[in-house]
């Protein structure tokens, strides 16, 4: 909990939530306090590599990887999850090779974006604008100055 942000206690899960994120938290809170995934006291740390050693298979993992490793490889629900997960580097995204002519979901997204661009809700921040000659000259001078300094340091 950060000291410099005011916090409020959630009436559902009784966690202290920063006021800036309280509205979002309340909209998704189920009332159950999330328990940390990794609560093992028998995990040892390899002092030379600063990595955590799995108590089941003695492999080393980072602080963030050990919890996922134990869950997927040493629990029933994790193994079930892993069995249904797509494998390999060549796993394609759901919309690969699809166009708005071949897929209804992409057509819907495309139409939504077109409407937003047309109404001015979305726009490229620099679309249709150009640098003035004065600005171009300043950019040119700064770039020359940067490159000349860089050449002397190399």
Structural domain spans, the chain:
1-34, 44-82
The conformation of residue 33, written as its DSSP 8-state character, comes to P
What distance in Å separates the CA atoms of residue 2 and residue 37, rounded to the nearest whole number? 22
Per-residue pLDDT of the chain (154 residues; tens, 9 = 90+): 445 778 888 888 888 888 888 888 888 888 776 555 445 567 788 888 888 888 888 899 887 888 888 888 888 888 888 887 777 666 777 888 899 999 999 999 999 988 888 887 777 666 677 899 999 999 999 999 999 887 766 5
Helix locations, 6-132, DSSP H: 19-28, 65-74, 76-84, 104-119
- Token pair of 68 as six digits: 């996922």
pTM comes to 0.36
Round the CA-based radius of gyration of the chain to a whole number and report it. 26
């Amino acid at each position: 909990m950060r000291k410099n942000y005011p916090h409020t206690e959630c009436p559902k899960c009784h966690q202290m939530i920063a006021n800036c994120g309280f509205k979002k938290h309340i909209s998704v809170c189920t009332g159950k306090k999330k328990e940390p995934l990794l609560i093992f006291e028998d995990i040892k740390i390899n002092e030379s590599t600063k990595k955590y050693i799995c108590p089941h298979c003695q492999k080393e993992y980072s602080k963030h990887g050990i919890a996922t490793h134990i869950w997927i490889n040493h629990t029933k629900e994790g193994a079930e999850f892993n069995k249904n997960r797509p494998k390999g580097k060549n796993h394609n995204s759901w919309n690969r090779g699809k166009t708005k002519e071949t897929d209804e979901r992409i057509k819907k997204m495309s139409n939504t974006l077109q409407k937003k661009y047309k109404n001015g809700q979305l726009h490229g921040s620099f679309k249709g604008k150009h640098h003035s000659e004065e600005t171009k000259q300043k950019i040119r001078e700064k770039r020359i100055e940067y490159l000349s300094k860089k050449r002397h340091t190399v």
